[in-house]
C-alpha cells in the first residue's frame, strides 16, 4: 500500500488511458452489434448478438472488475457461478429441445 | 385378492415395473439388513469396556476399502440404471395398432371420449389385450392420470397434449386417480377404468348414446368455425388444402420440414404463424382461446380422416 | 502462562460468558455475536417447528378416516401447504446451518466470529420478516398451493394468499444466500494458524458444502417465485398456457433449487453425525478424505439431478434418461458415507449416550431413506410411485428422519458447550429411542400405501388405505411426544442441569478447548492447530479409553 | 504506513485479510446474482424457442434508440466506476478524482433511469403492457413483454441500489468521512456496479435486437 507521501504507482493519465481504451472497445462492440442486428443472417443474427455480449462482458469482468489480477480463489467463485448457470441452461434445454409433442 | 395388501398387475407394463420393483426391493433389503446387522454387531462387540480385541489395526488400509466399495456401488448403480432405463425405453412408444382415446381433465373430473365419439365422465371402458393410447390435455391446471393397477402415470397439461399407453391384461374395474395436486377437490378427482373382454367392449360401445364420431364433430366445426372458407378443396382462397395432409411431410417457409402429426395440426390451428407452409401467406387468424381442447381434438380427428379413409375405417371398425 | 492455565484448569479472572455478557433484550436484538445469533435462530426455528407440527397434527388426525371428519378440503389443503412451506424454509433449511453451524463454525476453526457479523444479524432479521409474511398468509386465510407452488394453479387458479406466502419464501431465500456467503468467507478467511483444509472437522466441511449450494441454488428459487408473483400480482404472462407459456419451465426452475435444498438439509446432518460417531466410538473417522470428497461430490452433482422430480411431468424422455443416470450416480457418495460411519465403529470403545443414539438413529433412517431413493431414480418405478405416499415416506426419511435426528444429536452433543449445563441423560436416551420408533411407525406404512397407489395430498382417500393411515397417525402421535420431550427436559436442564466442564465428552476439536459457555470472543488465546481432526488414538491403532492427548503421546513415543 | 486501525472491524485482526474477505464475499454474492439473472434469461430463452417469430415481432416493437443509448450510458458509468475503484486503491493522492468519478457514476446511473422512464412511458402509450388491449397479436408476444417488464424492472432495482451505494460513498468521501485509499467499500461497490452493467450487456441483444433484420 502506498502512503500519503509516496509517489503513486500510476498517474491519473495512465488510469484514464487504460480504462478509456477498454471503454472505447466496449462502445465499438456495442455499435457493431447494433449494426449486425440489421444484417439478415437468419439465426446467426441472434448468435452474433450473444457472442458480442459475451465479449463485452468478458472485457468488463476481466479488466474493469480485474478478475485477471485477482486471486485464484476469487476466480474460482466467479467460475462456480458460471458453471452452475451453464448446468441450469444445459439440462433445462435438454428437456425443452428434445420434447416429443406427439408420438405416432 | 385383497386390495389392501397387494396391487393387481393388470397391464403388460405392470409386470415389467414390478420386476424392477421387486428386484430393487430384494437388493435394497439385503443391503439394509447387511448395514443394520453390521452396525448392531459392531456396537455390541466394541461397546465400551468389552473384552474384544483392539490393538494395532490390521494391515489392509482404508484406501483399498474405500476404492473397493466406491467402485462396487458405482458399477451396481450403473447396472441398475441400465436395467431400469432399458425397460423405460422399451415401453416408450405405443404400438401402431393402438386404439386412440381422448382424455380431457378439468377441476375436478376426467372427461373421456372413445374413437366413435362416445363420451364418459370419470370412467373409461377399454378392451382387454388391446393396446390403448390416450391423448390427454387439461382445460385448467396440471392434473395427472394415474392408474395404479397399470403402473402408469402421466401429467395432463394445459395447452399441450401428453400421451400414455397401456395394454390391459385383466378384466375388472380399477381405480383411476389424479396424482398431481390440482386444488380443492383434488382427492375427489377419481374415476374407474373398466377393462372388458373385447367383444363386451364392442357391444358396450354400440349401446352408448349416438355420440357424434369425433371426426364428424370435427367436420361440423370445420364449417362452423369458418375453416372451410379457405381450406375446403373447393375454396378459391390461397390456403393449404388438407386432403392427404395428415402424416405427410410439410415444407415450411423458413426452410424446415416437419411431419404433419397431431402436434403440428394443433399448433397450426392455435398458432398458425409459428410454422407457415412454404408458398403461403401468414394470413390465417389465431384460434388460441377460441377453441377448447375438445374442439381442437375434433378438428384434428377430422383432418386425420381426410388423410387416408382406410385408417379411420380401421379405427371405427368396432362400431 | 502455565500449562495448567492453558488447558483452563485454573480459574481465570471472572469474566461473563457470551450468555451473560449483556442481559437486556436490546443487547440480544443488536448483537453481532455469532453465538447469540445462533440462539436467536434456535428460538425462531423452534417456534416454526411447532407451528408446522401443529398443522401436520391436524392433517394426520383428519386422515384417520377415509372420508374426512374434521376439516374441509380447503382447510386440509391449506394445512399441508403451510406445513410444507414452514418446515422446509423456516425449519429444515435454517435448522442445522443457522443454529449449530452459526454457533460452531467459528469455534471449530478457531475464529472469534464469522467473517461478516452484521450480515449475519441482518440475515436473521430477514428470516423474521419472511416468517411474518408467511404467518400472515396463514392468518389471512392460508395458501393452498402446496409448498411447490406449481403453475398454473398458483398463478391463475388458487384463491388463496399465494402472494404473501411466495414473498415470504422469496425473502427467506435472501437470508439463506447471506448466510451462505458469510460461511464461505469465514471458512476461507478465518481459519486459525495451522488449521489447514484437511485438518478441518467434517462438520465444517459440511457447512461449507452446504453454503455453496445455498449461494448458487437459492437465487433460482427466488426467480421462480418472483415469476409466480409477477404473473399473479402484476398480470405479466410468463407460464400461462393461453399466452404460449410453459408451465413445466416453472418446475425446472423450482426443482433446480428444491432438489439441492435436500442437500442443504442433509449435508449438515452428515457433518453432525461425523463429529459424534468418532467421539463416542473413540475412533478416528474412517476414511476422512473420502468423507470430504463425498460431501463435495454430493454438493456438486446435487445441481444436476433435479429432473427426477419431473419424470411424469411431460419432460422429454431423453432428459428423463440423463436425470435418471445422474440420480443413480449421486447415490454413490451417499453410500460411501454410510459405509464409513459403520466402519468407524470397528474396534472402537463405544458408549451410548443420547447424542450417539440419535446419531446411530440418523444412520439407520438415512440408509432406509437413501435406499428407497433408488426406486425413485429408476424411471419405470418412479412413474408408478411418484406423487404417492411412497415419495412422502422417502423424503421424510431423509429430511425428517435424517436431518431432524441429526439436529437433535447435535443439540444434545453441544448442549453443554452452548449452555454450560448437562442435559438429563436417561430422559434423553428415552426420547432418542422413542423418536426412532415413532418415526418408523409413522412413515414405514406410507411406503406400502404409496406403492399400492395412494396419491399424496389427498384429503379423502379410497377406504382400502385406511389401515395404513391409522398406523401412520398413531405413529405420529408417538413422534409428537418424542419431539415435545426434549423441549421439556432441555428447558429443565437450563435451570437444574449439572454444570458442564470444558470438554464433558473428551472430544477433539477446538470448540472443546474453550469454556462452556464460551466467552464473547470465543477464545481467550489464539488457538493453534498442529494435528488433524478426530485424534482419538494414534494412527494405525484401535480406540483406547485414554484422553486424546495421552494416547497421542503414546503413539508418538 | 497509513493508519488502517480505524477501519478494522470485528472479527479481524489484519486489515489486508479483512479487505480480501470483503472482496471474496462480494464475488461469491455476485456468483449468486449470476444465477439470479441467469434463470430469468433461461425463462426468456425457453419462451423464445417456443415462439421465435413472436419474439422477433415483439423485439421490433421495442425502441432500439433508448436501448442503445442506455447501453452506452451504462458502459460509460462502468468506465468512471473502474477509474474510481482503481484510483482509490492507489492511494489518497487521488481523492478528488475518486470523488468525481463516483459522482459521475451515480449521475450516469440516474441518467439511465431517466431514459428508462421515457422508454416505459412510450411503451405504455404503445400498449405494450400485457393486458386485454395489448398491441401485438402473435401468441408469445405477451410473454416477451411480460419478461421485458420484469427483467428490466429487476435490473432497475439493482441499479437503484447501486446508485444509492455509490452516492453514499461519494458523499462520505466529500465529507472526509471515508479513508479513500484504504476503505474497501469502493472496491466492493464497484464490483457490484460492474455486474449490473454486465447483466445489461446481455439484456441489450435479448430485448432490443431480435427481429431487426427482417
**Surface of B (248-307) touching D: CB under 8 A:** 270-271, 273-274, 286, 288
For B143, the enclosing helix (H) or strand (E) is strand B143-147
Q: Tens digits of per-residue pLDDT, B63-82?
A: 788 888 899 999 999 999 99
Task: Please name the residues in contact with D86: beta carbons below 8 A apart, sequence gap of 6 or more.
Answer: A10, A15, A19, A66
Superfamily, domain C33-556: Cytochrome c oxidase-like, subunit I domain (1.20.210.10)
Tell me what pLDDT residue D5 has: 65
Residue of B nearest to C294 (CA): B70
CB C403 within 8 A of CB C409: no
User: Is the domain of B148 the same as that of B262?
Assistant: no
Q: Tens digits of per-residue pLDDT, D80-94?
A: 999 999 988 877 778
Q: C222 contacts in A (CB within 8 Å)?
A: none
CA distance D43 to chain C (A): 7
Tell me what pLDDT residue D79 has: 95
3-state SS class at D127: coil
CA distance C186 to chain B (A): 31
pLDDT tier for residue B211 given thresholds of 50, 70 and 90: low
Mean residue pLDDT across chain D? 90
CB B152 within 8 A of CB C383: yes
Q: Which residues lie across from B156 on neighbouring strands?
A: B143
Of C115, C216, C244, the CB nearest to D25: C115
Q: A104 contacts in B (CB within 8 Å)?
A: 93, 96, 261
Tell me what pLDDT residue B248 has: 80
Q: What are the helix (H) ranges across C140-246?
A: 162-189, 202-229
Task: Please name the residues in contact with C508: beta carbons below 8 A apart, sequence gap of 6 or more.
Answer: C278, C279, C533, C534, C535, C536, C548
Residue ranges covered by each domain of chain A = 1-69, 70-104
Q: Tens digits of per-residue pLDDT, C8-59?
A: 455 555 678 888 888 889 999 999 999 999 999 999 999 999 999 999 999 9
**Surface of C (151-210) touching B: CB under 8 A:** 152-153, 156-158
Which of B161, B190, B211 is the last residue in one of the domains? B211
Residue of A nearest to C304 (CA): A87
Tell me what pLDDT residue B56 has: 81
Cβ–Cβ contact C132 with B under 8 A? no
Tell me what pLDDT residue C550 has: 56
Average pLDDT over residues C315-330: 94
Residue B54 lies in a domain: no
Tell me what pLDDT residue B312 has: 38
**3-state percent helix, strand, coil for chain C, nearest multiple of 5:** 70, 0, 30
Mutation site for A-interface testing, chosen from D16, D44, D79, D162 by largest number of A Cβ within 10 Å: D79
Q: Which residue has the higher pLDDT, C324 or B265?
A: C324
Task: Give percent above pLDDT 90 in chain C.
Answer: 81
Residue ranges covered by each domain of chain D = 14-207
Tell me what pLDDT residue C116 has: 94
Task: Please name the residues in contact with D126: beta carbons below 8 A apart, sequence gap of 6 or more.
Answer: D61, D135
CA distance A98 to chain B (A): 14
Tell me what pLDDT residue A99 has: 82
Given a cut of 60, whether residue C552 has pLDDT beyond it is: no
Tell me what pLDDT residue C449 has: 94
User: Is the domain of B206 the same as that of B172?
Assistant: yes
- Among residues C242, C239, C243, the alpha carbon closest in space to that of C224 is found at C239
Residue B50 lies in a domain: no
Q: Which residue has the higher pLDDT, B293 or C228?
A: C228
Class (C level, CATH) for D14-207: mainly alpha
Residue B53 lies in a domain: no
Which of B211, B233, B254 is the last residue in one of the domains? B211
Q: Tens digits of per-residue pLDDT, C284-295?
A: 898 899 999 999
**Residue C456 CB burial class (10 angstroms; 0-12, 13-18, ≥19):** buried
* Range(s) of the domain holding residue B224: 214-318
Given a cut of 50, whether residue B310 has pLDDT beyond it is: no
pLDDT tier for residue A8 given thresholds of 50, 70 and 90: low
Q: Tens digits of per-residue pLDDT, C401-452?
A: 999 999 999 999 999 999 999 999 999 999 999 999 999 999 999 999 999 9
Report CA A99 to chain centroid distance, whole Å: 31
Average pLDDT over residues C166-191: 95
Question: Residue C374 has which C-alpha cell?
Answer: 433408488
- Least reliable range by pLDDT among B66-75, B239-248, C150-159: B239-248
Question: Residue C25 has which C-alpha cell?
Answer: 433484550
pLDDT tier for residue A24 given thresholds of 50, 70 and 90: very high
Given a cut of 80, whether residue A3 has pLDDT beyond it is: no
pLDDT tier for residue C556 given thresholds of 50, 70 and 90: very low
- Among residues B137, B87, B91, the alpha carbon closest in space to that of B112 is found at B137
Residue ranges covered by each domain of chain C = 33-556
Q: Which residue has the higher pLDDT, C524 or B312?
A: C524
Residue with cell 476469487: A74
Q: Which residue has the higher pLDDT, C32 or C554?
A: C32
Q: Which residues lie across from B104 on neighbouring strands?
A: B111, B137
Q: Tens digits of per-residue pLDDT, B157-168?
A: 998 899 999 999
Residue of C nearest to B59 (CA): C540
Our count of domains for chain B comes to: 2
Tell me what pLDDT residue A26 has: 96
Given a cut of 80, whether residue C83 has pLDDT beyond it is: yes
3-state SS class at B184: coil
Q: Tens digits of per-residue pLDDT, D125-141?
A: 999 988 888 888 888 89
Which of B211, B228, B251 is the last residue in one of the domains? B211
Residue B259 lies in a domain: yes
CATH number of domain containing B236: 1.10.760.10
CA distance D50 to chain C (A): 8
Cβ–Cβ contact C309 with A under 8 A? no
Given a cut of 50, whether residue A104 has pLDDT beyond it is: no
Q: D213 contacts in B (CB within 8 Å)?
A: none
Tell me what pLDDT residue C554 has: 46
Tell me what pLDDT residue B258 has: 81
User: Is the domain of B92 the same as that of B141?
Assistant: yes
User: Is the domain of B106 the same as that of B4?
Assistant: yes
pTM: 0.89
Q: How far apart are CA C507 and CA C339, in angstroms?
A: 22
Q: What are the helix (H) ranges across D4-140?
A: 15-50, 52-61, 64-90, 95-125
Q: Tens digits of per-residue pLDDT, D110-127?
A: 999 999 999 999 999 999
Q: A95 contacts in B (CB within 8 Å)?
A: none
- Among residues C550, C517, C516, C547, the alpha carbon closest in space to that of C279 is found at C547
pLDDT tier for residue C2 given thresholds of 50, 70 and 90: very low
Does the interface ipTM go beyond 0.95?
Answer: no
Residue with cell 467421539: C279
Tell me what pLDDT residue B228 has: 77
User: Is the domain of B123 the same as that of B255?
Assistant: no
Average pLDDT over residues B235-251: 78
User: Is the domain of B7 the same as that of B99?
Assistant: yes
Cβ–Cβ contact D118 with C under 8 A? no
- Among residues C347, C339, C287, the alpha carbon closest in space to that of C533 is found at C287
CA distance A63 to chain D (A): 9
Residue B51 lies in a domain: no
Q: How far apart are CA D208 and CA D101, in angstroms?
A: 29
Q: Which residues lie across from B145 on neighbouring strands?
A: B154, B178
Please indicate whether, in this complex, the C-beta atoms of B163 and A104 are within 8 angstroms of each other.
Answer: no
Given a cut of 90, whether residue C468 has pLDDT beyond it is: yes
CB pairs under 8 A between B and C: 259
3-state SS class at D65: helix
CB B197 within 8 A of CB B318: no
CA distance A68 to chain D (A): 14
Mutation site for A-interface testing, chosen from D182, D207, D212, D214 by largest number of A Cβ within 10 Å: D212
Q: D136 contacts in B (CB within 8 Å)?
A: none
Q: D137 contacts in B (CB within 8 Å)?
A: 286
Given a cut of 90, whether residue A11 has pLDDT beyond it is: no
User: Is the domain of B265 the same as that of B245?
Assistant: yes
User: Is the domain of B258 the same as that of B203?
Assistant: no
User: Is the domain of B11 the same as that of B72?
Assistant: yes
Given a cut of 90, whether residue C206 has pLDDT beyond it is: yes
Average pLDDT over residues C464-468: 93
Of C188, C220, C318, the CB nearest to A94: C318
Residue C443 phi/psi, 5-degree rounding, is: -105, -20
Mutation site for B-interface testing, chosen from A42, A44, A96, A102 by largest number of B Cβ within 10 Å: A102
Q: How far apart are CA D43 and CA B222, in angstroms?
A: 36
Count of CB atoms situated within 10 Å of the CB of C129:
16
Q: B135 contacts in A (CB within 8 Å)?
A: 102
Mutation site for A-interface testing, chosen from B91, B253, B262 by largest number of A Cβ within 10 Å: B262
Given a cut of 50, whether residue A4 has pLDDT beyond it is: no
Residue B55 lies in a domain: no
Of A20, A23, A77, the CB nearest to D27: A77
Q: Tens digits of per-residue pLDDT, D158-173?
A: 999 999 999 999 999 8
Mean residue pLDDT across chain C? 91
Amino acid at each position: 500500500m502506498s502512503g500519503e507521501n509516496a509517489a503513486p504507482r500510476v498517474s491519473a493519465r495512465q488510469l484514464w488511458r487504460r480504462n478509456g481504451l477498454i471503454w472505447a472497445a466496449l462502445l465499438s462492440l456495442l455499435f457493431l452489434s447494433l449494426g449486425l442486428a440489421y444484417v439478415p443472417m437468419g439465426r446467426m443474427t441472434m448468435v452474433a448478438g450473444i457472442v458480442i455480449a459475451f465479449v463485452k462482458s468478458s472485457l468488463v469482468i476481466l479488466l474493469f472488475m480485474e478478475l485477471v489480477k485477482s486471486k485464484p480463489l476469487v476466480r474460482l467463485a466467479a467460475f462456480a457461478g458460471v458453471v452452475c448457470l451453464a448446468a441450469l441452461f444445459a439440462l433445462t434445454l435438454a428437456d425443452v429441445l428434445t420434447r416429443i409433442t406427439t408420438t405416432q | 385378492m385383497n386390495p389392501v395388501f397387494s396391487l393387481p398387475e393388470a397391464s403388460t407394463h405392470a409386470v415389467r415395473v414390478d420386476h424392477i420393483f421387486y428386484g430393487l426391493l430384494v437388493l435394497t433389503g439385503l443391503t439394509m439388513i447387511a448395514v443394520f446387522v453390521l452396525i448392531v454387531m459392531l456396537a455390541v462387540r466394541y461397546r465400551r469396556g468389552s473384552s474384544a480385541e483392539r490393538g494395532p489395526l490390521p494391515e489392509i488400509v482404508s484406501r483399498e476399502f474405500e476404492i473397493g466399495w466406491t467402485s462396487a456401488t458405482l458399477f451396481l448403480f450403473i447396472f441398475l440404471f441400465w436395467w431400469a432405463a432399458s425397460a423405460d425405453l422399451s415401453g416408450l412408444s405405443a404400438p401402431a395398432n393402438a386404439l386412440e382415446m381422448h382424455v380431457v381433465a378439468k377441476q375436478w373430473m376426467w372427461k373421456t371420449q372413445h374413437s366413435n365419439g362416445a363420451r364418459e365422465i370419470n370412467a373409461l371402458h377399454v378392451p382387454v389385450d388391446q393396446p390403448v393410447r390416450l391423448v390427454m390435455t387439461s382445460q385448467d391446471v396440471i392434473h395427472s392420470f394415474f392408474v395404479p393397477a397399470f403402473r402408469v402415470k402421466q401429467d395432463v397439461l394445459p395447452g399441450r397434449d401428453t400421451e400414455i399407453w397401456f395394454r390391459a391384461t385383466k378384466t375388472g374395474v380399477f381405480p383411476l386417480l389424479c396424482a398431481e395436486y390440482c386444488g380443492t377437490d383434488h382427492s375427489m378427482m377419481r374415476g374407474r377404468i373398466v377393462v372388458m373382454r373385447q367383444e363386451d367392449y364392442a357391444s358396450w360401445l354400440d349401446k352408448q348414446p349416438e355420440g357424434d364420431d369425433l371426426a364428424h364433430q370435427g367436420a361440423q366445426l370445420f364449417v362452423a368455425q369458418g375453416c372451410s372458407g379457405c381450406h375446403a378443396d373447393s375454396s378459391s382462397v390461397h390456403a393449404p388444402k388438407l386432403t392427404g395432409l395428415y402424416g405427410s411431410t410439410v415444407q415450411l417457409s423458413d426452410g424446415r420440414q416437419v411431419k404433419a402429426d397431431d402436434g403440428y395440426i394443433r399448433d397450426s390451428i392455435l398458432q398458425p404463424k409459428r410454422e407457415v407452409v412454404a408458398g403461403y401467406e401468414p394470413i390465417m387468424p389465431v384460434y388460441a382461446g377460441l377453441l377448447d381442447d375438445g374442439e381442437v381434438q375434433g378438428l384434428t380427428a377430422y383432418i386425420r380422416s381426410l388423410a387416408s379413409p382406410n385408417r379411420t375405417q380401421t379405427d371405427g371398425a368396432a362400431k | 502462562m502455565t500449562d495448567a492455565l492453558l488447558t483452563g484448569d485454573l480459574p481465570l479472572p471472572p469474566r461473563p460468558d457470551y450468555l451473560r455478557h449483556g442481559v437486556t433484550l436490546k443487547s440480544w436484538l443488536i448483537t453481532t455475536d455469532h453465538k447469540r445469533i445462533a440462539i436467536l435462530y434456535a428460538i425462531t426455528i423452534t417456534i416454526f417447528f411447532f407451528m408446522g407440527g401443529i398443522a401436520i397434527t391436524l392433517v394426520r388426525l383428519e386422515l384417520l378416516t377415509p372420508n374426512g371428519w374434521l376439516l374441509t378440503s380447503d382447510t386440509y389443503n391449506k394445512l399441508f401447504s403451510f406445513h410444507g412451506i414452514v418446515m422446509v424454509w423456516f425449519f429444515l433449511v435454517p435448522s442445522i446451518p443457522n443454529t449449530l453451524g452459526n454457533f460452531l463454525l467459528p469455534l471449530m476453526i478457531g475464529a472469534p466470529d464469522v467473517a461478516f457479523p452484521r450480515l449475519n444479524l441482518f440475515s436473521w432479521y430477514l428470516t423474521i420478516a419472511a416468517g411474518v409474511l408467511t404467518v400472515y398468509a396463514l392468518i389471512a386465510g392460508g395458501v393452498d398451493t402446496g409448498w411447490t407452488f406449481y403453475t398454473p394453479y398458483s398463478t391463475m387458479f388458487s384463491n388463496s394468499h399465494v402472494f404473501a406466502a411466495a414473498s415470504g419464501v422469496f425473502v427467506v431465500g435472501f437470508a439463506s444466500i447471506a448466510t451462505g456467503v458469510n460461511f464461505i468467507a469465514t471458512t476461507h478467511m478465518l481459519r486459525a494458524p495451522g488449521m489447514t483444509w484437511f485438518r478441518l472437522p467434517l462438520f465444517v466441511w459440511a457447512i461449507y458444502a452446504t453454503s455453496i449450494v445455498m449461494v448458487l441454488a437459492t437465487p433460482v428459487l427466488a426467480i421462480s417465485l418472483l415469476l409466480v408473483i409477477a404473473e399473479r400480482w402484476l398480470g405479466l404472462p410468463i407460464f400461462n398456457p393461453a399466452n404460449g407459456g410453459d408451465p413445466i419451465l416453472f418446475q425446472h426452475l423450482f426443482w433446480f433449487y428444491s432438489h439441492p435444498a435436500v442437500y442443504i438439509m442433509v449435508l449438515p446432518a452428515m457433518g453432525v453425525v461425523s463429529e459424534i460417531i468418532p467421539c463416542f466410538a473413540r475412533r478416528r473417522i474412517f476414511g476422512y478424505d473420502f468423507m470430504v470428497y463425498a460431501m463435495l461430490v454430493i454438493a456438486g452433482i446435487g445441481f444436476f439431478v433435479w429432473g427426477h422430480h419431473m419424470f411424469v411431468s411431460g419432460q422429454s424422455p431423453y432428459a428423463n434418461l440423463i436425470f435418471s443416470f445422474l440420480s443413480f450416480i449421486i447415490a454413490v457418495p451417499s453410500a460411501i458415507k454410510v459405509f464409513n460411519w459403520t466402519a468407524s465403529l470397528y474396534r472402537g470403545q463405544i458408549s451410548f449416550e443420547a447424542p450417539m443414539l440419535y446419531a446411530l438413529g440418523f444412520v439407520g433412517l438415512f440408509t432406509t431413506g437413501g435406499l428407497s431413493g433408488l426406486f425413485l431414480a429408476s424411471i419405470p418405478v418412479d412413474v408408478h410411485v411418484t406423487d404417492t405416499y411412497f415419495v412422502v415416506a422417502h423424503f421424510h426419511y431423509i429430511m425428517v428422519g435424517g436431518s431432524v435426528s441429526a439436529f437433535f444429536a447435535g443439540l444434545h452433543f453441544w448442549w453443554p458447550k452452548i449452555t454450560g449445563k448437562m442435559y438429563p441423560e436417561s430422559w434423553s436416551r428415552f426420547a432418542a429411542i422413542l423418536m426412532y420408533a415413532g418415526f418408523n411407525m409413522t412413515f414405514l406404512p406410507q411406503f406400502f400405501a404409496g406403492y399400492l397407489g395412494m396419491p399424496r395430498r389427498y384429503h379423502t382417500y379410497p377406504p382400502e388405505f385406511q389401515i395404513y393411515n391409522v398406523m401412520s397417525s398413531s405413529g405420529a402421535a408417538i413422534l409428537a411426544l418424542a419431539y415435545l420431550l426434549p423441549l421439556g427436559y432441555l428447558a429443565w436442564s437450563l435451570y437444574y442441569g449439572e454444570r458442564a466442564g470444558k470438554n464433558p465428552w473428551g472430544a477433539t476439536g477446538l470448540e472443546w478447548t474453550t469454556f462452556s459457555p464460551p466467552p464473547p470472543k470465543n477464545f481467550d488465546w489464539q488457538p493453534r492447530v498442529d494435528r488433524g481432526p478426530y485424534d482419538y488414538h494414534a494412527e494405525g491403532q484401535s480406540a483406547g479409553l485414554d484422553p486424546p492427548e495421552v494416547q497421542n503421546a503414546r503413539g508418538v513415543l | 504506513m497509513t493508519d488502517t486501525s480505524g477501519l478494522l472491524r470485528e472479527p479481524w485482526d489484519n486489515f489486508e485479510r479483512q479487505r480480501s474477505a470483503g472482496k471474496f464475499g462480494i464475488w461469491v454474492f455476485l456468483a449468486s446474482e449470476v444465477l439470479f439473472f441467469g434463470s430469468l434469461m433461461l425463462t426468456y430463452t425457453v419462451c423464445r424457442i417456443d415462439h421465435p417469430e413472436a419474439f422477433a415481432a415483439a423485439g421490433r416493437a421495442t425502441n432500439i434508440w433508448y436501448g442503445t443509448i442506455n447501453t452506452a450510458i451504462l458502459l460509460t458509468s462502468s468506465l468512471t466506476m473502474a477509474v474510481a475503484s482503481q484510483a482509490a486503491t492507489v492511494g489518497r493522492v487521488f481523492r478528488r478524482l475518486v470523488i468525481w468519478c463516483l459522482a459521475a457514476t451515480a449521475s450516469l446511473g440516474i441518467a439511465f433511469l431517466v431514459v428508462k422512464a421515457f422508454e416505459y412511458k412510450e411503451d405504455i402509450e404503445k400498449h405494450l403492457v400485457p393486458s386485454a388491449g395489448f398491441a401485438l397479436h402473435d401468441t408469445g408476444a405477451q410473454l416477451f413483454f411480460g419478461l421485458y417488464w420484469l427483467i428490466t424492472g429487476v435490473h432497475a432495482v439493482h441499479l437503484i441500489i447501486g446508485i444509492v451505494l455509490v452516492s453514499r460513498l461519494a458523499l462520505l468521501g466529500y465529507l472526509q468521512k471515508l479513508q479513500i485509499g484504504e476503505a474497501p467499500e469502493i472496491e466492493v461497490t464497484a464490483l457490484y456496479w460492474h455486474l449490473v452493467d454486465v447483466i445489461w450487456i446481455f439484456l441489450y441483444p435479448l430485448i432490443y435486437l431480435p427481429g431487426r433484420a427482417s
